[in-house]
Structure 1
Amino acid sequence: MNLEGLINKYYDQLNDNDLHIIGYISQNIELSKDKTVTEIAKYCNVSPSTIIRTTKKLGFSGYSEFRYFLKEEADRLKEIKVPNNQYFNSSVLLKDVQETIKLFDEDKSLENIYKLFLESKNIFAYGTGYGQNLMLKEFSRCLLNNSIYLNIIPSKTELELISQLITPNDLLIVASLSGKIESIDSLIKSIVVKKVPTISVTVFSRNDLAYLANYNLYYQVTNLNKISQLNNSSFCTLNLVLSLLYEGFTNYVNENQRH
């Protein structure tokens, strides 16, 4: 399993410190693979023991085993890295973007969603993976321009707590790639049963999350990488649909202020 796969597998066990450390390492694998735990700790501005705890959360016995994994990961990335842009099929990504925009434009529930942003007492958002969480954080930053505060739920533990406290006057947004939610299925159902308005953000497909949610936002993804089985365009189009949602909401607010 590659590093991104490990992050998604153990995501619910990772706190903000862990994600900060892993984020640095994932962006600097070539540099990190030859560094000691003390050197990595210095780069991340944390203690060596914190680094070791993070690696153990990812299933390693300690930093030595993790560093060996990083060396293999660096070699793997070199093998699949395409040295020439002639192999990049921009038409596939362009199609994903066009389809995502089309899905958004055809959505008849957007005005109801915009109203929920304005009327909800609290707005919560949960991403089922590391990348989804990052996109939601950017969306949260944008919403602040309209004085809307989006509470990002960092892990399953906090989602369990929120599921007990959330009310029908609140709003929950859940972003996922596949919409498969086995690990949080019971939590989402308990929230839905409480009549809490729920918005799913998933790839365009029939999926469990979309079935449970009151409103569905979709984005298009084409699997480009047959080697790693990663959806390389997923974050691009997920970010796009959230950007469209923010722009639409901003226009809705401005329009209503004129009347």
Structure 2
Amino acid sequence: MNLEALINKHYEELNDNDLHVVSFISQNIDVCKDKTVTEVAKYCNVSSSTVIRTTKKLGFHGYSEFRYFLKEEAERMSKANLQSNSHYFNSSNLLKDVTETIKLFEEDKSLEEIYHRLLNAKRIFAYGTGYGQDLMLKEFSRCLWNHNIYLNIIPSKTELELLSHTINSDDLILVVSLSGNMKSIDSMIKNIAVKNVPMISVTVFSRNELAYIADYNLYYQVSNINKVNQLNDSSFCTLNLILSLLYEGFTNYKKTHVS
């Protein structure tokens, strides 16, 4: 199991400090694989005990075992990069995914309704089903601040469960997923839908349960999905793209609809 899969597996157990640590490490594996726990803690501006606790939450007995895992992860990534450089397959697939994602967005007939919802919702909530989805939502949230719109990102299933009892039809919720599989959040999403809360699903282009339940569907294209762990093997490029297109479209909509 790679680092991304581990983070997704234990995502509900990780607090903000843990996410800060794993975010830095995942982006700097080559640097961290040969560093002591004290050095990594200094990079992350946290205590050594925080780093150790984080690694234990990921299923390791201690930092030494985690560092050995990082070395294997760095080697695996290096081999993958060599494969990528020797074949045009990955880059051509990514270009195809980007082109298809733009096409799916431009052909969407419900965009004006979505923009209207974003502009007029009393409160806007967002839930990402994994670590990568959560990161993309944080960037989208940062962009919305330019319009003085606050996006309430729901950090875990526990908070989603609580929200499902208090959210109402004046609100709006975005649910971002790769597959649209609702197995772990099925009852919460259905509770929200029953209350006639406008819901926007953001999923890979496919027939899926989340898209079926949501009022509005935004799709992005991903070709390289690992068959074993159902994770994105390429990047979150097209998810970031669809949220960027949504933001730019909303910005233009607001210019013509708000005096």
Question: What is the rounded CA distance, in whole Å, between the counterparts of 1:88 and 1:162 in structure 2?
Answer: 45
Is the contact between residue 5 and residue 231 of structure 2 (CA under 8 Å) also seen in structure 1?
no
In the other structure, the counterpart of 1:79 is 79
* Cα shift readout 1:113-135 (whole Å, capped 9, x = no counterpart): 11111111110011111111111
Is the contact between residue 177 and residue 203 of structure 1 (CA under 8 Å) also seen in structure 2?
yes
In the other structure, the counterpart of 1:214 is 215
Question: What is the rounded CA distance, in whole Å, between the counterparts of 1:123 and 1:228 in structure 2?
Answer: 31
Note closer, same or farther for the CA distance 1:73–1:138 as it changes in structure 2 (3 Å cut). same
> Between Structure 1 and Structure 2, how many residues are aligned?
258
Post-superposition offset of 1:232: 4.0
SS in structure 2 at match of 1:124: strand
In the other structure, the counterpart of 1:118 is 119
In the other structure, the counterpart of 2:252 is 251
Is the contact between residue 223 and residue 229 of structure 1 (CA under 8 Å) also seen in structure 2?
no
1:204 aligned to 2:202? no
In the other structure, the counterpart of 2:25 is 25
Question: What is the rounded CA distance, in whole Å, between the counterparts of 1:14 and 1:88 in structure 2?
Answer: 37
2:87 alignment partner AA? Y
Note closer, same or farther for the CA distance 1:230–1:166 as it changes in structure 2 (3 Å cut). closer
The 4+ residue runs of structure 1 with deviation greater than 4 A are 224-230
SS in structure 1 at match of 2:82: coil
Q: How does the TM-score come out when normalised to structure 2?
A: 0.93
In the other structure, the counterpart of 2:177 is 176
Post-superposition offset of 1:17: 0.9
SS in structure 2 at match of 1:167: coil
Is the contact between residue 29 and residue 70 of structure 2 (CA under 8 Å) also seen in structure 1?
yes
Note closer, same or farther for the CA distance 1:226–1:144 as it changes in structure 2 (3 Å cut). same
In the other structure, the counterpart of 2:236 is 235
Is the contact between residue 5 and residue 229 of structure 2 (CA under 8 Å) also seen in structure 1?
no
Is the contact between residue 198 and residue 215 of structure 1 (CA under 8 Å) also seen in structure 2?
yes
* Cα shift readout 1:82-141 (whole Å, capped 9, x = no counterpart): 277452333322221111111111111111111111111110011111111111111111
In the other structure, the counterpart of 2:132 is 131
Post-superposition offset of 1:19: 0.9
In the other structure, the counterpart of 2:164 is 163
Note closer, same or farther for the CA distance 1:235–1:81 as it changes in structure 2 (3 Å cut). same
In the other structure, the counterpart of 1:143 is 144
1:36 alignment partner AA? T
Q: Root-mean-square deviation (CA), in Å?
A: 2.0
